[in-house]
Protein backbone atom coordinates (compact mmCIF):
# COMPACT_ATOMS: atom_id res chain seq x y z
CA UNK A 1 0.00 0.00 0.00
CA UNK A 2 1.09 3.54 -0.63
CA UNK A 3 2.44 4.87 2.63
CA UNK A 4 3.16 8.34 1.36
CA UNK A 5 2.97 9.43 -2.27
CA UNK A 6 3.14 12.93 -3.74
CA UNK A 7 0.29 14.11 -1.59
CA UNK A 8 2.23 13.40 1.60
CA UNK A 9 5.60 14.06 0.02
CA UNK A 10 4.91 17.72 -0.31
CA UNK A 11 3.79 17.78 3.30
CA UNK A 12 6.98 16.02 4.43
CA UNK A 13 7.83 12.33 4.81
CA UNK A 14 10.66 9.87 4.64
CA UNK A 15 12.56 8.31 1.76
CA UNK A 16 11.45 4.78 0.90
CA UNK A 17 14.33 2.50 -0.03
CA UNK A 18 12.22 -0.64 -0.24
CA UNK A 19 9.59 -0.74 -2.91
CA UNK A 20 7.16 -3.37 -4.13
CA UNK A 21 6.21 -2.53 -7.68
CA UNK A 22 3.28 -4.24 -9.40
CA UNK A 23 4.11 -4.47 -13.10
CA UNK A 24 1.19 -4.80 -15.54
CA UNK A 25 2.73 -5.09 -19.02
CA UNK A 26 -0.63 -5.50 -20.81
CA UNK A 27 -1.04 -5.89 -24.58
CA UNK A 28 0.75 -4.91 -27.79
CA UNK A 29 3.89 -2.84 -27.17
CA UNK A 30 3.05 -2.69 -23.44
CA UNK A 31 5.40 -5.58 -22.48
CA UNK A 32 8.17 -4.22 -24.74
CA UNK A 33 8.26 -0.72 -23.26
CA UNK A 34 7.59 -1.86 -19.68
CA UNK A 35 10.59 -4.20 -19.85
CA UNK A 36 12.83 -1.19 -20.52
CA UNK A 37 11.26 0.87 -17.71
CA UNK A 38 11.92 -2.04 -15.32
CA UNK A 39 15.48 -2.31 -16.65
CA UNK A 40 16.12 1.33 -15.72
CA UNK A 41 14.54 0.92 -12.28
CA UNK A 42 16.66 -2.20 -11.67
CA UNK A 43 19.78 -0.26 -12.67
CA UNK A 44 18.91 2.46 -10.13
CA UNK A 45 18.20 -0.12 -7.40
CA UNK A 46 21.39 -2.04 -8.11
CA UNK A 47 23.58 1.04 -8.19
CA UNK A 48 22.08 2.62 -5.06
CA UNK A 49 21.56 -0.58 -3.07
CA UNK A 50 17.79 -0.24 -2.92
CA UNK A 51 15.43 -3.15 -2.56
CA UNK A 52 12.96 -2.88 -5.47
CA UNK A 53 10.78 -5.93 -6.06
CA UNK A 54 8.83 -6.39 -9.27
CA UNK A 55 5.84 -8.68 -9.60
CA UNK A 56 4.08 -9.05 -12.94
CA UNK A 57 0.32 -9.43 -13.27
CA UNK A 58 -2.02 -9.70 -16.24
CA UNK A 59 -4.28 -6.90 -17.48
CA UNK A 60 -6.05 -6.11 -20.76
CA UNK A 61 -7.19 -8.25 -23.67
CA UNK A 62 -4.61 -10.96 -23.02
CA UNK A 63 -5.87 -11.25 -19.44
CA UNK A 64 -9.44 -11.64 -20.71
CA UNK A 65 -8.43 -14.41 -23.09
CA UNK A 66 -6.22 -16.27 -20.58
CA UNK A 67 -7.90 -15.53 -17.25
CA UNK A 68 -11.49 -14.62 -18.16
CA UNK A 69 -11.22 -11.00 -16.97
CA UNK A 70 -9.42 -7.88 -18.26
CA UNK A 71 -8.41 -7.14 -14.64
CA UNK A 72 -8.42 -10.46 -12.78
CA UNK A 73 -8.86 -10.50 -8.98
CA UNK A 74 -5.24 -11.61 -8.45
CA UNK A 75 -4.01 -8.56 -10.36
CA UNK A 76 -6.25 -6.31 -8.29
CA UNK A 77 -4.95 -7.80 -5.03
CA UNK A 78 -1.35 -7.48 -6.11
CA UNK A 79 -1.80 -3.84 -7.16
CA UNK A 80 -3.50 -2.92 -3.90
CA UNK A 81 -0.74 -4.63 -1.91
CA UNK A 82 2.05 -2.81 -3.79
CA UNK A 83 3.74 0.57 -3.29
CA UNK A 84 3.30 1.57 -6.93
CA UNK A 85 1.86 0.20 -10.15
CA UNK A 86 3.72 0.36 -13.47
CA UNK A 87 1.43 -0.22 -16.45
CA UNK A 88 2.26 -0.74 -20.14
CA UNK A 89 -0.81 -0.42 -22.32
CA UNK A 90 -3.92 -2.41 -23.16
CA UNK A 91 -6.00 -3.09 -26.25
CA UNK A 92 -5.72 -4.30 -29.81
CA UNK A 93 -7.97 -5.13 -32.77
CA UNK A 94 -8.01 -8.85 -31.89
CA UNK A 95 -10.01 -7.95 -28.75
CA UNK A 96 -12.59 -5.75 -30.49
CA UNK A 97 -15.14 -8.58 -30.66
CA UNK A 98 -15.02 -9.33 -26.91
CA UNK A 99 -18.11 -8.47 -24.88
CA UNK A 100 -18.16 -5.12 -23.07
CA UNK A 101 -17.04 -6.53 -19.69
CA UNK A 102 -14.13 -8.40 -21.30
CA UNK A 103 -12.86 -5.46 -23.36
CA UNK A 104 -9.32 -4.36 -22.43
CA UNK A 105 -10.48 -0.81 -21.66
CA UNK A 106 -12.82 -2.22 -18.98
CA UNK A 107 -9.71 -3.58 -17.24
CA UNK A 108 -8.03 -0.19 -17.36
CA UNK A 109 -11.04 1.59 -15.88
CA UNK A 110 -11.37 -1.09 -13.19
CA UNK A 111 -7.68 -0.62 -12.30
CA UNK A 112 -7.96 3.17 -12.08
CA UNK A 113 -11.17 2.95 -10.10
CA UNK A 114 -9.81 0.41 -7.60
CA UNK A 115 -6.66 2.48 -6.99
CA UNK A 116 -8.74 5.64 -6.56
CA UNK A 117 -6.16 7.99 -8.10
CA UNK A 118 -7.83 11.36 -8.59
CA UNK A 119 -4.99 13.45 -10.06
CA UNK A 120 -3.44 12.66 -13.41
CA UNK A 121 -0.07 14.29 -14.05
CA UNK A 122 1.17 14.58 -17.61
CA UNK A 123 4.33 16.52 -18.32
CA UNK A 124 4.82 17.91 -21.84
CA UNK A 125 8.43 18.82 -22.49
CA UNK A 126 10.07 20.01 -25.70
CA UNK A 127 13.50 18.33 -25.84
CA UNK A 128 15.83 20.47 -27.91
CA UNK A 129 17.42 17.51 -29.72
CA UNK A 130 14.09 16.28 -31.11
CA UNK A 131 12.29 19.62 -31.41
CA UNK A 132 12.01 19.10 -35.16
CA UNK A 133 9.82 16.02 -34.60
CA UNK A 134 6.98 18.25 -33.45
CA UNK A 135 4.61 19.58 -36.11
CA UNK A 136 4.92 22.91 -34.29
CA UNK A 137 7.69 25.33 -35.19
CA UNK A 138 10.93 24.71 -33.30
CA UNK A 139 11.30 28.29 -32.05
CA UNK A 140 7.76 28.23 -30.76
CA UNK A 141 8.12 25.13 -28.58
CA UNK A 142 11.72 25.34 -27.35
CA UNK A 143 11.75 25.83 -23.58
CA UNK A 144 8.29 24.32 -23.09
CA UNK A 145 7.90 22.44 -19.83
CA UNK A 146 4.25 22.07 -18.91
CA UNK A 147 2.83 19.91 -16.14
CA UNK A 148 -0.81 19.17 -16.88
CA UNK A 149 -2.85 18.17 -13.81
CA UNK A 150 -6.16 16.60 -14.77
CA UNK A 151 -8.92 15.65 -12.31
CA UNK A 152 -9.49 11.97 -12.98
CA UNK A 153 -12.45 10.62 -11.02
CA UNK A 154 -15.21 13.22 -11.35
CA UNK A 155 -17.07 15.28 -13.91
CA UNK A 156 -18.78 14.08 -17.05
CA UNK A 157 -17.08 10.67 -17.17
CA UNK A 158 -18.43 9.43 -13.85
CA UNK A 159 -21.41 11.52 -12.72
CA UNK A 160 -24.96 10.22 -12.65
CA UNK A 161 -27.50 10.29 -14.18
CA UNK A 162 -26.28 9.12 -17.55
CA UNK A 163 -28.15 7.21 -20.23
CA UNK A 164 -28.53 6.34 -23.85
CA UNK A 165 -32.29 6.10 -24.08
CA UNK A 166 -33.64 4.42 -27.19
CA UNK A 167 -37.27 5.11 -26.27
CA UNK A 168 -36.84 8.88 -26.24
CA UNK A 169 -34.16 8.76 -28.95
CA UNK A 170 -31.87 10.80 -26.74
CA UNK A 171 -28.86 10.49 -24.48
CA UNK A 172 -27.47 12.43 -21.53
CA UNK A 173 -24.51 12.73 -19.23
CA UNK A 174 -24.02 14.79 -16.11
CA UNK A 175 -21.12 16.99 -15.13
CA UNK A 176 -20.98 17.15 -11.34
CA UNK A 177 -18.19 18.27 -9.02
CA UNK A 178 -18.11 18.63 -5.26
CA UNK A 179 -15.96 21.25 -3.53
CA UNK A 180 -13.95 18.46 -1.96
CA UNK A 181 -13.14 16.87 -5.33
CA UNK A 182 -11.93 20.21 -6.66
CA UNK A 183 -9.97 21.10 -3.53
CA UNK A 184 -7.95 17.90 -3.40
CA UNK A 185 -6.79 18.05 -7.01
CA UNK A 186 -6.15 21.80 -6.77
CA UNK A 187 -3.83 21.21 -3.78
CA UNK A 188 -1.80 18.69 -5.79
CA UNK A 189 -1.42 21.22 -8.62
CA UNK A 190 -0.45 24.10 -6.30
CA UNK A 191 2.08 21.92 -4.47
CA UNK A 192 3.63 20.96 -7.80
CA UNK A 193 3.71 24.61 -8.88
CA UNK A 194 5.49 25.55 -5.64
CA UNK A 195 8.36 23.27 -6.65
CA UNK A 196 8.46 24.57 -10.23
CA UNK A 197 8.07 28.03 -11.80
CA UNK A 198 5.29 28.95 -9.33
CA UNK A 199 2.73 29.69 -12.03
CA UNK A 200 -0.60 27.93 -12.23
CA UNK A 201 -3.34 28.35 -14.79
CA UNK A 202 -6.71 26.84 -13.96
CA UNK A 203 -8.77 26.00 -17.04
CA UNK A 204 -12.56 25.99 -16.95
CA UNK A 205 -15.66 27.20 -18.80
CA UNK A 206 -16.96 29.50 -16.08
CA UNK A 207 -18.81 31.76 -18.53
CA UNK A 208 -21.22 28.87 -19.30
CA UNK A 209 -21.02 26.02 -16.76
CA UNK A 210 -22.04 26.05 -13.10
CA UNK A 211 -19.50 23.31 -12.33
CA UNK A 212 -16.82 25.62 -13.72
CA UNK A 213 -18.01 28.52 -11.57
CA UNK A 214 -17.68 26.30 -8.50
CA UNK A 215 -14.30 25.12 -9.82
CA UNK A 216 -13.09 28.74 -10.09
CA UNK A 217 -14.34 29.66 -6.59
CA UNK A 218 -12.69 26.67 -4.97
CA UNK A 219 -9.39 27.04 -6.85
CA UNK A 220 -9.28 30.73 -5.91
CA UNK A 221 -9.81 29.78 -2.26
CA UNK A 222 -7.13 27.04 -2.33
CA UNK A 223 -4.72 29.58 -3.91
CA UNK A 224 -4.69 31.55 -0.63
CA UNK A 225 -2.86 28.56 0.96
CA UNK A 226 -0.08 28.95 -1.63
CA UNK A 227 0.84 32.64 -1.69
CA UNK A 228 4.07 32.03 -3.62
CA UNK A 229 2.16 30.64 -6.62
CA UNK A 230 0.54 33.05 -9.08
CA UNK A 231 -2.89 31.92 -10.26
CA UNK A 232 -4.49 32.69 -13.59
CA UNK A 233 -7.93 31.50 -14.72
CA UNK A 234 -8.46 30.68 -18.39
CA UNK A 235 -11.47 29.61 -20.43
CA UNK A 236 -10.92 26.25 -22.08
CA UNK A 237 -11.60 27.40 -25.64
CA UNK A 238 -9.09 30.25 -25.65
CA UNK A 239 -6.62 28.20 -23.61
CA UNK A 240 -6.72 25.44 -26.25
CA UNK A 241 -5.51 28.00 -28.76
CA UNK A 242 -2.97 29.76 -26.50
CA UNK A 243 -1.28 26.60 -25.24
CA UNK A 244 -0.36 25.60 -28.75
CA UNK A 245 0.55 29.06 -30.05
CA UNK A 246 2.53 30.09 -26.96
CA UNK A 247 3.32 26.94 -24.93
CA UNK A 248 6.36 28.37 -23.11
CA UNK A 249 4.04 30.76 -21.26
CA UNK A 250 2.67 27.93 -19.11
CA UNK A 251 3.99 25.98 -16.14
CA UNK A 252 1.33 24.00 -14.23
CA UNK A 253 -2.09 23.63 -15.84
CA UNK A 254 -4.98 22.46 -13.66
CA UNK A 255 -8.24 21.30 -15.16
CA UNK A 256 -11.20 18.97 -14.82
CA UNK A 257 -11.59 15.52 -16.32
CA UNK A 258 -12.98 16.08 -19.84
CA UNK A 259 -11.03 19.27 -20.56
CA UNK A 260 -7.88 17.57 -19.28
CA UNK A 261 -8.39 14.55 -21.49
CA UNK A 262 -8.53 16.73 -24.58
CA UNK A 263 -5.91 19.32 -23.60
CA UNK A 264 -3.31 16.76 -22.53
CA UNK A 265 -3.52 15.08 -25.94
CA UNK A 266 -3.17 18.50 -27.53
CA UNK A 267 -0.03 19.35 -25.53
CA UNK A 268 1.42 15.93 -26.34
CA UNK A 269 2.24 17.15 -29.87
CA UNK A 270 4.86 19.42 -28.31
CA UNK A 271 7.01 16.40 -27.42
CA UNK A 272 7.07 15.18 -31.03
CA UNK A 273 5.84 11.60 -30.57
CA UNK A 274 3.21 9.83 -28.52
CA UNK A 275 5.92 7.38 -27.45
CA UNK A 276 7.73 10.12 -25.51
CA UNK A 277 5.06 10.94 -22.96
CA UNK A 278 4.91 9.64 -19.39
CA UNK A 279 2.14 10.00 -16.83
CA UNK A 280 1.38 9.47 -13.16
CA UNK A 281 -2.03 9.06 -11.57
CA UNK A 282 -1.84 9.82 -7.89
CA UNK A 283 -3.82 10.46 -4.75
CA UNK A 284 -5.41 7.05 -4.33
CA UNK A 285 -4.50 3.98 -2.34
CA UNK A 286 -1.59 3.22 -4.68
CA UNK A 287 -0.17 5.46 -7.40
CA UNK A 288 -0.18 4.41 -11.05
CA UNK A 289 2.49 5.13 -13.66
CA UNK A 290 2.03 4.57 -17.40
CA UNK A 291 3.04 6.00 -20.74
CA UNK A 292 0.16 7.89 -22.33
CA UNK A 293 0.21 5.89 -25.56
CA UNK A 294 -1.88 2.83 -26.33
CA UNK A 295 -0.81 -0.68 -27.31
CA UNK A 296 0.35 0.46 -30.80
CA UNK A 297 -0.76 -2.77 -32.53
CA UNK A 298 0.74 -1.57 -35.83
CA UNK A 299 4.29 -1.88 -34.43
CA UNK A 300 3.81 -4.46 -31.65
CA UNK A 301 6.26 -7.37 -31.56
CA UNK A 302 8.80 -5.64 -33.81
CA UNK A 303 11.04 -4.30 -31.03
CA UNK A 304 10.84 -0.76 -32.41
CA UNK A 305 8.48 0.98 -29.96
CA UNK A 306 9.77 4.07 -28.21
CA UNK A 307 10.25 3.17 -24.51
CA UNK A 308 10.86 6.76 -23.34
CA UNK A 309 7.25 7.36 -22.24
CA UNK A 310 7.45 4.22 -20.10
CA UNK A 311 10.92 5.08 -18.77
CA UNK A 312 9.77 8.64 -18.01
CA UNK A 313 6.85 7.11 -16.09
CA UNK A 314 9.38 5.08 -14.08
CA UNK A 315 11.19 8.36 -13.29
CA UNK A 316 7.88 9.77 -12.01
CA UNK A 317 7.48 6.63 -9.89
CA UNK A 318 10.90 7.30 -8.36
CA UNK A 319 9.96 10.91 -7.68
CA UNK A 320 6.45 10.52 -6.29
CA UNK A 321 6.11 6.99 -4.85
CA UNK A 322 9.71 6.16 -3.91
CA UNK A 323 10.43 9.79 -3.02
CA UNK A 324 13.82 9.61 -4.66
CA UNK A 325 13.98 12.94 -6.54
CA UNK A 326 17.71 12.75 -7.26
CA UNK A 327 17.35 9.32 -8.86
CA UNK A 328 14.33 10.57 -10.82
CA UNK A 329 16.37 13.56 -12.05
CA UNK A 330 19.14 11.18 -13.13
CA UNK A 331 16.73 9.04 -15.20
CA UNK A 332 15.34 12.17 -16.85
CA UNK A 333 18.86 13.47 -17.51
CA UNK A 334 19.72 10.07 -19.04
CA UNK A 335 16.72 10.30 -21.38
CA UNK A 336 17.86 13.73 -22.50
CA UNK A 337 21.47 12.57 -22.90
CA UNK A 338 20.44 9.55 -25.00
CA UNK A 339 18.45 11.82 -27.31
CA UNK A 340 21.28 14.36 -27.45
CA UNK A 341 23.69 11.59 -28.48
CA UNK A 342 21.50 11.01 -31.53
CA UNK A 343 19.79 7.77 -30.46
CA UNK A 344 16.30 7.57 -31.92
CA UNK A 345 13.56 5.01 -32.24
CA UNK A 346 11.83 4.95 -35.64
CA UNK A 347 8.95 7.24 -34.54
CA UNK A 348 11.49 10.05 -34.06
CA UNK A 349 12.99 9.74 -37.54
CA UNK A 350 11.73 10.69 -41.01
CA UNK A 351 10.74 7.61 -43.07
CA UNK A 352 13.89 7.81 -45.21
CA UNK A 353 16.14 7.54 -42.13
CA UNK A 354 14.32 4.81 -40.24
CA UNK A 355 16.90 2.17 -41.16
CA UNK A 356 19.22 3.97 -38.70
CA UNK A 357 16.75 3.67 -35.84
CA UNK A 358 17.71 2.10 -32.51
CA UNK A 359 15.57 -0.69 -31.13
CA UNK A 360 13.43 -0.46 -28.00
CA UNK A 361 15.99 -2.54 -26.15
CA UNK A 362 19.01 -0.53 -27.36
CA UNK A 363 17.43 2.70 -26.13
CA UNK A 364 16.42 1.11 -22.82
CA UNK A 365 19.91 -0.29 -22.22
CA UNK A 366 21.56 3.02 -23.07
CA UNK A 367 19.26 5.01 -20.80
CA UNK A 368 19.96 2.53 -17.98
CA UNK A 369 23.73 3.00 -18.48
CA UNK A 370 23.42 6.78 -18.70
CA UNK A 371 21.29 6.80 -15.53
CA UNK A 372 24.06 5.03 -13.64
CA UNK A 373 26.60 7.49 -15.08
CA UNK A 374 24.42 10.38 -13.94
CA UNK A 375 24.09 8.85 -10.46
CA UNK A 376 27.87 8.43 -10.24
CA UNK A 377 28.47 11.98 -11.36
CA UNK A 378 25.97 13.32 -8.79
CA UNK A 379 27.68 11.30 -6.06
CA UNK A 380 31.11 12.60 -7.13
CA UNK A 381 29.87 16.20 -7.05
CA UNK A 382 28.20 15.85 -3.67
CA UNK A 383 31.40 14.32 -2.27
CA UNK A 384 33.42 17.41 -3.25
Active site residue 302: no
Q: Which of 322, 347, 336 is nearest to 370 (CA)?
A: 336
Our CB check for ligand NAD shows the closer of 120 and 255 to be 120
Our CB check for ligand NAD shows the closer of 295 and 358 to be 295
Residue 353 CB contacts under 8 Å (≥ 6 apart), including other chains: none
Three-class secondary structure of residue 21 per DSSP: strand
Our CB check for ligand NAD shows the closer of 165 and 298 to be 298
237, 302, 356, 376: the active-site residue? 237
Our CB check for ligand NAD shows the closer of 92 and 123 to be 92
Shortest Å distance, C-beta 292 to ligand NAD? 7
Pairing of strands 287-289, 280-282: antiparallel
Phi, psi torsion values for 287, nearest 5 degrees: -85, 150
Our CB check for ligand NAD shows the closer of 296 and 330 to be 296
Active site residue 287: no
Active site residue 127: no
Shortest Å distance, C-beta 238 to ligand NAD? 27
Shortest Å distance, C-beta 46 to ligand NAD? 25
Three-class secondary structure of residue 24 per DSSP: strand
User: Which residues form the interface with ligand NAD (CB under 6 A)?
Assistant: 29, 33, 89-92, 105, 108, 274-275, 290, 293-299, 305-306, 309, 347
50, 177, 204, 205: the active-site residue? 205
Active site residue 250: no
DSSP 90-132: ---GGGTTS-GGGSHHHHHHHHHHHHT--EEEEEEE--GGGGG
Q: Which of 128, 156, 143, 141 is nearest to 267 (CA)?
A: 141
Active site residue 157: yes
4, 10, 113, 157: the active-site residue? 157
10, 113, 198, 265: the active-site residue? 265
The whole-angstrom separation of Cα 158 and Cα 174 is: 8
The whole-angstrom separation of Cα 362 and Cα 307 is: 10
Three-class secondary structure of residue 307 per DSSP: coil
Shortest Å distance, C-beta 129 to ligand NAD? 17
113, 199, 261, 365: the active-site residue? 261
Shortest Å distance, C-beta 344 to ligand NAD? 11
Whether 229 contacts 187, CB under 8 Å? no
Q: Which of 30, 21, 19, 112 is nearest to 63 (CA)?
A: 30
By annotation, the residues acting in catalysis are 157, 205, 237, 261, 265
Amino acid sequence: MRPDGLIAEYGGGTTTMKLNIAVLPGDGVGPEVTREAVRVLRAVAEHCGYDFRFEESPIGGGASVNFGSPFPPQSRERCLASDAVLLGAVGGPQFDTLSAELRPEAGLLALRYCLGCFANLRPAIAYESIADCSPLRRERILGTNIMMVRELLGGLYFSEPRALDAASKSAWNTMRYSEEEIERVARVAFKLAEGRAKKLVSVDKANVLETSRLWRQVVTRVATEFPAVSLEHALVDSFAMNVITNPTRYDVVLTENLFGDILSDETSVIAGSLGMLPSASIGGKVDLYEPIHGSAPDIAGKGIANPIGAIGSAAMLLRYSAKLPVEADCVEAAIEAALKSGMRTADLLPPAERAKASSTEQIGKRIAELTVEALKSRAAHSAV
